[in-house]
Structure 1
Amino acid sequence: MRTFPEETPTPPSRNGGRPRLAKKFRNWLMNAPGVAATDRLDAVVDRAVARALAPDLAAVEGLLDALRAAPRDAKAPWPETAIEDYLVCARAVVFRTLGLTLFDTQMLAAANMLRGTVVEMATGEGKTLVGALVAGAQALSGSRVHVLTVNDYLARRDAAWMGPYFEAIGVSAASVTATMGPAARRTAYLADVVYVSVSELGFDVLRDRTVTDPAETVLQPLDACIVDEIDSVLVDEATVPLVLAGRARTELQSVDVADFVKSLRADVEFTVEADKRNVSLTDAGIDRAEARWPGVELYSAAGTPLFSSINVALHAQVLLQRDVDYIVRDGQAQIISDSRGRVASLQRWPDGLQAAVETKEGLATTEHGEVLDQLLVRDLIRSFATVTGMSGTAVAVAEYLRTNYTLDAGPIPPHKPCIRKDLPELIYATSAQRDAAVVAAVLAAHATGQPVLIGTHDVATSERFAALLRDKKVDAAVLNARNDGVEAEIIAQAGRKGAVTVSTQMAGRGTDILLGGTDATAAGHREVAALGGLLVMVVGRFYSPRLDAQLKGRAGRQGDPGAGVIYSSVEDPAANGQESHGLELSGSVEGETDDAGLVTRAGVSKLLDRAQRLAEQERFTTQENSWKYNELIAYQRRVVLSERSDVLTRDAAALEPFEGEAHLAELRAELGEAGVVHVCRQVLLFALDSLWSDHLALLSEQRAAIHLRALGRQNPLDEYRKETILAFEGLLERANDSARDMLAALHPVNGSVDLEAAGLRRASSTWTYVVNEDPFGSQSDQIVKWLLKKMGR
């Protein structure tokens, strides 16, 4: 968010300068599932604006003291009187410390968030400052606040930028980033308000779960959480697990199938499903594999490792595309987040698929890891006592947020009416014709000086457009996963006269596009506005209409002119697989296009709308299914963590499993009471953590094969839950038995025990697995499909 400081606060008005929501729209809001009517707090904001005309600093301090002293239930929404008093203070302090005048719409957003509502605010409306207002209020009431961002850059920037405001109201603030060590993290988490990326917080939760000394923990209680780009975090990334891993105790069995897979013929020996999410061998492919490895029947227990290796290598070869799904940089295959367009830091595919991609690209394969624990982003967020947040596209998933997080979302009107023109979608018969039309439109706009932003899906497409434009003597700035480290500088200048910028997905970039550029004068701003403002061209629909809206939302910030248009083709991913939804679009459109390939058939855009909605609903269903499989594991994890906490904090709990053991008396004599407590605690924690890791590995194997139960008319989910319960029974007792065996094998030397030499080594590496419900079609699913085919079903 950026606004220009004013000499004096803007005069108040009874309506705060806000355009009132139309009655019809307001009525719709009242009835839409999960959507909150945010204008209910209009009067509170209006009173606060009126009271903030000429702030008396002594009166402001008095109000802040009263807010600190007022008893408040951290889980309860703020009362309206307290919100009004706080906004009076905030308006005065923000102007004094940051040189900014709060928009009344920003105050309305903060008021609604303090009442527990997620707010939708357009790009450029000041979400960063709103987040700081809410964080400051929650901290004043005694809560420890975490503001969750999408990356380290924003965490560091926002904590520093909002720092003067927090200091003025008596609240400490800090940021946590990936480069910080344990001591620095521990200090930062002591602050009242902590800015931290979702992944870094998740990793710290996992590391705290594995400490062997209470002094090693870095986190404080998880009270209040404010999530920036909340729909991206709670919807798009909800089932991406944060994983704590260590070097595997056993080597992963591998079969070299890369050359074999490269020789397979499409539509003959393998087929790709219409949605391009799964690839599978045909009967001809199976026959060829069994001829290549004589004596091995793929659909048998003995053939499972080979079958799995072939499927994984085939997925890597056919479905994962370089410069689309990943880039190769610094000798590594680095995954690109499909919702952010950036390199997904510390992410990797599950073991086997990661190695297959590295083999495909001729890279050194990474070390095989062993999962010690994992945490879904959804479960991390639900660990907080209170959650709220903001986004530019939250209302579109309001029903989802209510169903899965008991959160409502509501729209905040813009500070100035949005005059952006959303132009009709242009759909072409082929992607080549679509691209030619985009280039022609860019040249036409560029000739007038109008700035243009081209939004693409992937690195390859962004670079292809940059090359096409260079051929036409137009230099375009390119922002994608290769150079995301300079994204702020590129985005900040995308509004200059004559600028052409090609970018991948823009969610959560945290920098506004100002007409005329960041250093533009008022005259420069007016000049670009007169040219029509920023023109955004979306090349091909994204998997979610929210991502399309985020891109188009880059134009028209704070009442500026601008325009957005989507260029699609019948060959785009959004048009693929229409038949599976009962839609007939991907067939020929011959005779229904003009000379440039523009489709003239009526209703095609509506078909794409429907397909896009259905595809997103499928993603939601997949997530919900994944959560159902994880619910029981989450409960079992709580049981283990409770036991672990007891062992970690009570000497008696650490010694209890070993009482009566003769070896314990010998160790006491050698090590003393404190020494034997330390050793027993380390051994018991190691045994508990190891068995939990083994339990997760076992459940992963069961999950991969559980779909076979469908052949016997059993419910896979019910069967998985039964297996999960059986696998967990007696785990704590087995941990005690294992710990007694390990303790018996320990022998002190010179009054101490070398635990690491005895094999009690702790993991330190962390990454996230890119995991879907079924990321590439498990071997069991392939078997089910094959058997059903043979059975004629």
Structure 2
Amino acid sequence: MFERLKEALGLGSEAQLKPLRRQAEEIEALEPRYEQMSDEQLQAQTALFKERLQQGETLDDLLNEAFAVAREAAKRTLGLRPFKVQLIGGIVLHQGRIAEMKTGEGKTLTACLPAYLNALTGKGVHIVTVNDYLAQFQGEDMGKLFRFLGLSVGVIIHDLDNAQRRAAYACDVTYGTNNEMGFDYLRDNMVIYQQDMVQRGHAYAIVDEVDSILIDEARTPLIISGQGEKSTDLYERADRFVVRLRAETDYTVEEKDKAVLLTEEGARKAEQAFRVDNINDPENNELNHHLLQALKAHALFKRDIDYVVQDGEVIIVDEFTGRLMLGRRYSDGLHQAIEAKEHVTVERESKTLATITFQNYFRMYGKLSGMTGTAKTEEAEFQGIYSLDVVQVPTNMPMIREDLNDMVYRGKRGKYKAVVAEIARRHQTGQPILVGTISVEVSEYLSDLLSRQGIKHEVLNAKHHAREAAIVAQAGHFGAVTIATNMAGRGTDILLGGNPDFLARRSLRREEVPDDIIEEATGKNENVSPEVLAARKRYIALRDEYKQTTDQEHDKVVAVGGLHILGTERHESRRIDNQLRGRAGRQGDPGSSQFFISLEDDLMRLFGGERIEGLIGRLGMDEEEPLAAGMLTKQIENAQKRIESRNYEVRKHVLQFDDVMNQQRELVYSQRRQVLEGQDMKQAVVTMGDRLLEEAVARFCVGTPQEWDLEGLREEVERLAVPQGTLKANQEAVQGFDQEGMTAFLKKAAADYYAGREAQIEALGIDMRELERTILLRSVDNRWMDHIDAMDQLRDGIGLRAYAQRDPVNEYKMESYDMFDEMNRLIQEDTIRTLFQLRIQQPQERQAVARVTAQSGAAEASQPKQTRQPVRSKPGEKVGRNSPCPCGSGKKYKACHGRAGVTQ
């Protein structure tokens, strides 16, 4: 319906492509102009474009010429000339839309065109990939083009330090993964000093495999955690208990909703085992939670499907790509429950320090675009959540892949037997086969079956991810059989006959040529060292040698039908199935695809197997007899549509809650950044103190002066901002005050006291403005962490409000705003109380400590450590934050006694 409406309004794919084709032709027409230029003249265009932008022209004004320049540079540096369809894709990306481009159509090169154009603004372009390998490979490979044109290129991968990250983000074009960029954003909003931040803004992002990142991972939040305080003992006790329970009798499982529930019998057993009266009492919430998480770990999460255990560690497997999600942990104690189940060390439950979803992270960009081979089925979600429409870019050559009807079996045993027989049949002809599985467990089971048949093959799953690119690059060889978990290897093309470039690079590495030399050697830049020229000569010789073999193999593979995709199970999402199919039939090559499914597969069992089971039963089919019919394929796709629609509604509903948290996060982070950027906080501190004193007077001075609670007021203001004994010492004057007079008196007392403290602290060589800034940031961070936890708890229980005919989202909004106000009040109170109640060491004490420290460094190791005291070199002299600490430790002052200049 969505498509028909767009066509009726003249917004359909063909109508969208018409102006794009016309503009691509205009860009092509510029080719002769730039072909005639020397390298120096072509490189000089970048400075000319920047100058034109400064004079008032827009990026749209420059688009045709900039794309033509980048196209010519690609030809000279990479030996690749973007096709017309790649120019169209680049225009779509520049417009802030999603370009659906089929596998093998050159998305990596396409992204360089809008990246070059938008980098001219100097604000930075982020090109986002799904893993470190792709970020590094694309950054190095496409970097040759950008550097040739005078732009800098950075790469963000896992093991970089802050200085390296900052340098990478400062570049004109930065390649990196969604995880790394999201975590860097969170870490930037936890720093105490502005110079420790690494990112410089979010102007324009091009997201590769945009459907994977913005939809598949949309509900997976990025979480930075700190060590929690709770013991892990209860996880182990819960695990020992649930292994004795029986399904259906003691607990029920709702696989569709991924939920478990204790039955009355199960609850009774739990009460006996843990000696509690009622497991559902609020006081037993923690125990109940641990039991349910332990049940989930056993009933819903399967080893080698949802996670793997390596070196005594539980590692999550990405259900969409089959890759290991290193460093990621299930939240809410589930990861600990799985650790207890697998009898590995149970890590302490973490405390969330900062969190954000990809939905909210990528919506921060001023302009967002993306590319993928499969986006059209999710266009409603892209439009509804990200305001991104999808343009289907035509293929450079007609697509001739044959998609065969599904083969449906009654049981898994019959299905796998048929899969092996089909692999053996096609393997005899030499046709390369890519077998797609949904889990590590299935891939290893199939591998075992093929080994028994003597069929040589490669396995690519979460356990073998290190060889991912090598396995995928050679999966198009004549006679190759490759088993891959889901979309593992996504982003690497499968070339029929093999990949000569990959083989040549591998040979150079085996000859111990360094990677940086290989990257330069595989480019076209002529201004290189003799070492690179020698490596280039060797690379070209190797590539040409391998190309003869791979070209011959290519023809052989084409003759037997090209790459065949064999799916062993349908995914919940049609898009994931289409991604698997899309590995075959690239660039006009022949190919084929077919899915083998059984009624015992999760999709069929949970979403529509009964109707098909009845049909197969009526036909009297046995377990090993297949049914291939277009009608069944249609029914399966309808089941997938229902699930996709349901999942979209779930993501949309979750986003309504996330948006509330996101507004609060943005407010906290923007105010935090103002503090970081050096804004003078003295007036802010004074305003906070005044507000707290006004609130105290309003609370304790109600009614006539005779009715005031002066003792309560005294305790409150002395706890906050007024010196001890202030009210007692001025008892007579106080008795004549009205509310306004009392407030003015307390404000003046606080201001005088603070001025005195400021003079004392400054005399110690401590910058009072820096101290205010640091204490305020610490207060914000501590209270924000507590607020995140409180919001999580509110969200966990808010769904129950629906039973009282109240909208949970509105209830959540109202209560969360109240909680946010309370958090702000507590931040102010913490800041004021800390600044006013700091215990200041006298200079004489500090200098004595300094002398002792300097004279007895050798003896210090044998003595119990004393509380570190603040030090400075001379009375009244300020010590710079980056100067050596006068205590003689060798550390900078900010990292030594500068941290402990005052103590609470």
Report the TM-score when normalising by structure 2.
Answer: 0.77
Query: Quick one: distance in 1 between partners of 2:629 and 2:46?
Result: 62
Query: Does the alignment pair 1:707 with 2:799?
Result: yes
Q: Is the 8 A contact 1:29 1:35 kept in 2?
A: no
Query: Quick one: distance in 2 between partners of 1:419 and 1:163?
Result: 33
Give the counterpart letter for 1:463 in structure 2: E
Give the counterpart letter for 1:563 in structure 2: S
Query: Quick one: distance in 1 between partners of 2:396 and 2:5?
Result: 18
Query: Does the alignment pair 1:359 with 2:386?
Result: no
Give the counterpart letter for 1:498 in structure 2: G
Q: 1:616 aligns with which of 644, 647, 663?
A: 644
Deviation track 1:456-494 (CA, whole Å, cap 9, x = no partner) reads 001000011000000000121000001111100000111
Give the counterpart letter for 1:68 in structure 2: K
Give the counterpart letter for 1:414 in structure 2: T
- 2:31 is aligned to 52
Query: Quick one: distance in 1 between partners of 2:573 and 2:55?
Result: 38
Query: What is the correspondence of 1:69-88 to structure 2 with a 5 Å cutoff?
Result: 69-71=51-53, 78-79=59-60, 82-88=62-68
Query: Quick one: distance in 1 between partners of 2:337 and 2:27?
Result: 60
Q: Is the 8 A contact 2:59 2:118 kept in 1?
A: no
Q: Is the 8 A contact 1:543 1:612 kept in 2?
A: yes
Query: Quick one: distance in 1 between partners of 2:801 and 2:275?
Result: 29
Query: Does the alignment pair 1:160 with 2:160?
Result: no
Match of 1:303, SS state, is: helix
Query: What is the correspondence of 1:195-344 to structure 2 with a 5 Å cutoff?
Result: 195-248=175-228, 254=234, 256-275=237-256, 277-344=258-325
Q: 1:477 to 1:303 in 2, by over 3 A?
A: same
Give the counterpart letter for 2:563 in structure 1: L
Q: 1:46 to 1:218 in 2, by over 3 A?
A: same
Deviation track 1:146-170 (CA, whole Å, cap 9, x = no partner) reads 1111111111111110112101222
Deviation track 1:193-213 (CA, whole Å, cap 9, x = no partner) reads 000111111111111111111
Match of 2:649, SS state, is: helix
Give the counterpart letter for 1:292 in structure 2: A
Query: Quick one: distance in 2 between partners of 1:202 and 1:755?
Result: 31
Match of 1:418, SS state, is: coil
Q: Which moved more, 1:623-632 or 1:583-592?
A: 583-592
Query: Quick one: distance in 2 between partners of 1:100 and 1:600?
Result: 43
Q: Is the 8 A contact 1:45 1:87 kept in 2?
A: no
Query: Does the alignment pair 1:529 with 2:558?
Result: yes
Query: Does the alignment pair 1:43 with 2:22?
Result: yes
Give the counterpart letter for 1:339 in structure 2: F
What is the CA-CA distance between 1:381 and the residue it aligns to?
0.6
Q: 1:626 aligns with which of 654, 665, 672?
A: 654
Query: Quick one: distance in 2 between partners of 1:355 and 1:349?
Result: 8
- 1:541 is aligned to 570
Q: 1:409 to 1:288 in 2, by over 3 A?
A: same
Query: Quick one: distance in 1 between partners of 2:788 and 2:231?
Result: 17
- 2:812 is aligned to 720
Identity among equivalent positions (%) equals: 31
Q: 2:50 aligns with which of 53, 68, 78?
A: 68
Q: Is the 8 A contact 1:108 1:412 kept in 2?
A: yes
Query: What is the correspondence of 1:99-114 to structure 2 with a 5 Å cutoff?
Result: 99-114=79-94
Query: Does the alignment pair 1:573 with 2:602?
Result: yes
Give the counterpart letter for 1:137 in structure 2: L
- 2:710 is aligned to none
Q: 1:164 to 1:274 in 2, by over 3 A?
A: closer
Query: Quick one: distance in 1 between partners of 2:113 and 2:643?
Result: 37
Q: Which moved more, 1:132-141 or 1:431-440?
A: 132-141
Deviation track 1:345-385 (CA, whole Å, cap 9, x = no partner) reads 22101141111000100100123221122111111111111
Query: Quick one: distance in 2 between partners of 1:277 and 1:152?
Result: 31
Q: Is the 8 A contact 2:839 2:903 kept in 1?
A: no
Give the counterpart letter for 2:253 in structure 1: V
- 1:439 is aligned to 420
What is the CA-CA distance between 1:73 and the residue it aligns to?
12
Give the counterpart letter for 1:697 in structure 2: D
- 1:665 is aligned to 756
Q: 2:611 aligns with which of 584, 590, 610?
A: 584
Match of 1:388, SS state, is: strand
Query: Quick one: distance in 2 between partners of 1:34 and 1:760?
Result: 67
Query: Quick one: distance in 1 between partners of 2:226 and 2:313?
Result: 19
Query: Quick one: distance in 2 between partners of 1:466 and 1:118?
Result: 37
Q: 1:27 to 1:653 in 2, by over 3 A?
A: closer
Deviation track 1:401-455 (CA, whole Å, cap 9, x = no partner) reads 1111111111111111111111111111111111111100000011111111000
| Greater Rg over alpha carbons, structure | 2
What is the CA-CA distance between 1:89 and the residue it aligns to?
1.6
Match of 1:125, SS state, is: coil
What is the CA-CA distance between 1:68 and the residue it aligns to?
2.4
- 1:785 is aligned to none
Higher relative contact order (CA closer than 8 Å, sequence separation 6+): 1
What is the CA-CA distance between 1:281 and the residue it aligns to?
1.7
Unaligned runs of 5+ in 1: 1-23, 762-793
Match of 2:685, SS state, is: helix
Q: 1:554 aligns with which of 568, 578, 583?
A: 583
Q: 1:294 to 1:671 in 2, by over 3 A?
A: same
What is the CA-CA distance between 1:49 and the residue it aligns to?
2.1
Q: 1:437 to 1:746 in 2, by over 3 A?
A: farther
Q: Is the 8 A contact 2:97 2:389 kept in 1?
A: yes
Match of 2:53, SS state, is: coil
Q: 1:237 to 1:274 in 2, by over 3 A?
A: closer
Match of 2:468, SS state, is: helix
Across the two proteins, how many residue pairs are aligned to each other?
A: 734
Give the counterpart letter for 2:676 in structure 1: L
Give the counterpart letter for 1:612 in structure 2: Q
What is the CA-CA distance between 1:319 and the residue it aligns to?
0.5
Query: Quick one: distance in 2 between partners of 1:654 and 1:747?
Result: 19
Deviation track 1:710-747 (CA, whole Å, cap 9, x = no partner) reads 22222222211121111111422311211233342444
Q: Is the 8 A contact 2:838 2:902 kept in 1?
A: no
Q: 1:535 to 1:691 in 2, by over 3 A?
A: same
Query: Does the alignment pair 1:131 with 2:117?
Result: no
Q: Is the 8 A contact 1:34 1:399 kept in 2?
A: no
Deviation track 1:658-715 (CA, whole Å, cap 9, x = no partner) reads 6737367346424447532222222211111111111111111111111222222222
Give the counterpart letter for 1:499 in structure 2: A
Higher percent of residues as helix: 2
Q: Is the 8 A contact 2:157 2:180 kept in 1?
A: yes
Query: Does the alignment pair 1:146 with 2:126?
Result: yes
Q: Which moved more, 1:145-154 or 1:628-637?
A: 628-637
- 2:508 is aligned to none
Query: What is the correspondence of 1:457-468 to structure 2 with a 5 Å cutoff?
Result: 457-468=438-449
Q: 1:696 aligns with which of 768, 785, 788?
A: 788
Query: What is the correspondence of 1:389-788 to structure 2 with a 5 Å cutoff?
Result: 389-506=370-487, 509-519=490-500, 520-578=549-607, 584-585=611-612, 589-592=616-619, 594=621, 596-599=624-627, 603-650=631-678, 652-653=680-681, 656-657=684-685, 660=751, 662=753, 665-666=756-757, 668-672=759-763, 674-743=766-835, 744-748=837-841, 749-751=869-871
Q: Is the 8 A contact 2:232 2:348 kept in 1?
A: no
Give the counterpart letter for 2:149 in structure 1: I
Match of 1:503, SS state, is: strand
What is the CA-CA distance between 1:131 and the residue it aligns to?
1.0
Give the counterpart letter for 1:48 in structure 2: I
